[in-house]
């Protein structure tokens, strides 16, 4: 059985989508959801879907306590699904870790570029296309090797919400599939 650990900071729509996608695949288990935000919507979503959660502090992430908990699970893959903090090198060197970004990297990536901030930049710059990038996480924000990108036209969008909706559709359609395909390559 392949095991996945999810990290999320916010509402958890991607985490819920991933959990639901793998619910009827007994060969893949979502073992735990970790969050740095005690008020994050992902906690309720995970609870509703019977996936245990862990809330942790920045200190616990950086002092090895989170790594100890991950080591107890020994996941095949760590998935950052809307996780906003920089991930420690100590964990990255032990476990294959991927992230999703709501733009076509290298555009609109880096520290502070997440969620609506990315979509606002796309709107402000009158981009015709945006999309998603699924990439390996490394020691820098949004600089890991690209695994998958998918673009969508936003030339007719007049609001951040319209752009966000189109990007979320891509995330929900492709993120679980890319995870599943990647797990097939992990021995």
Q: Model confidence at 186, in pLDDT bands (50, 70, 90)?
A: confident
Contacts of 40 (CB under 8 A, 6+ apart): 8, 9, 10, 11, 12
Q: Which residues of 36-63 are buried (b: 16+ CB within 10 A; e: fewer)?
A: bbeebbbbebbeeeebebbebeeebbee
Cα(48)–Cα(169) distance, rounded to whole angstroms?
22
Dist. CA 39–CA 70, nearest whole Å = 22
Instruction: Render pLDDT for 58-93 as a digit per residue (tens, 0 to 9).
Output: 999 999 999 999 999 999 999 999 999 999 999 999
Mean pLDDT of 147-153: 98
Strand order in the sheet with 2-8: 53-55, 28-35, 2-8, 77-80, 97-101, 129-136, 146-153
pLDDT at 187: 72
Tokens of 107: 């555009």
Q: State mean pLDDT over 169-174.
A: 97
Using one digit for the tens of pLDDT, what is the confidence trace for 103-132? 999 999 999 999 999 999 999 999 999 999
Distance CA 124, CA 17 (A): 29
Q: How confident is the model at residue 162 (pLDDT cuts 50, 70, 90)?
A: very high
């Amino acid at each position: 059985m392949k095991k996945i650990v999810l990290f999320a900071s916010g509402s958890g729509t991607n985490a819920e989508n991933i959990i639901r996608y793998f619910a009827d695949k007994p060969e893949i288990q979502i073992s735990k959801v970790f969050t740095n935000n005690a008020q994050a919507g992902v906690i309720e979503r995970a609870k509703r879907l019977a996936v245990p959660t862990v809330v942790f502090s920045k200190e616990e992430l950086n002092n090895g306590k989170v790594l100890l908990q991950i080591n107890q699970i020994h996941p095949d893959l760590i998935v950052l699904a809307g996780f906003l903090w920089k991930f420690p090198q100590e964990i990255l060197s032990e476990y294959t870790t991927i992230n999703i970004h709501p733009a076509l990297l290298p555009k609109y990536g880096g520290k502070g570029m997440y969620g609506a901030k990315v979509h606002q930049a796309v709107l402000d710059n009158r981009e015709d296309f945006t999309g998603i990038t699924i990439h390996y996480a490394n020691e820098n924000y949004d600089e890991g090797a690209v695994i998958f990108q998918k673009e969508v036209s936003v030339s007719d969008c007049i609001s951040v919400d319209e752009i966000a909706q189109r990007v979320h559709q891509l995330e929900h359609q492709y993120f679980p599939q890319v995870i599943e395909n990647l797990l097939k390559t992990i021995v």
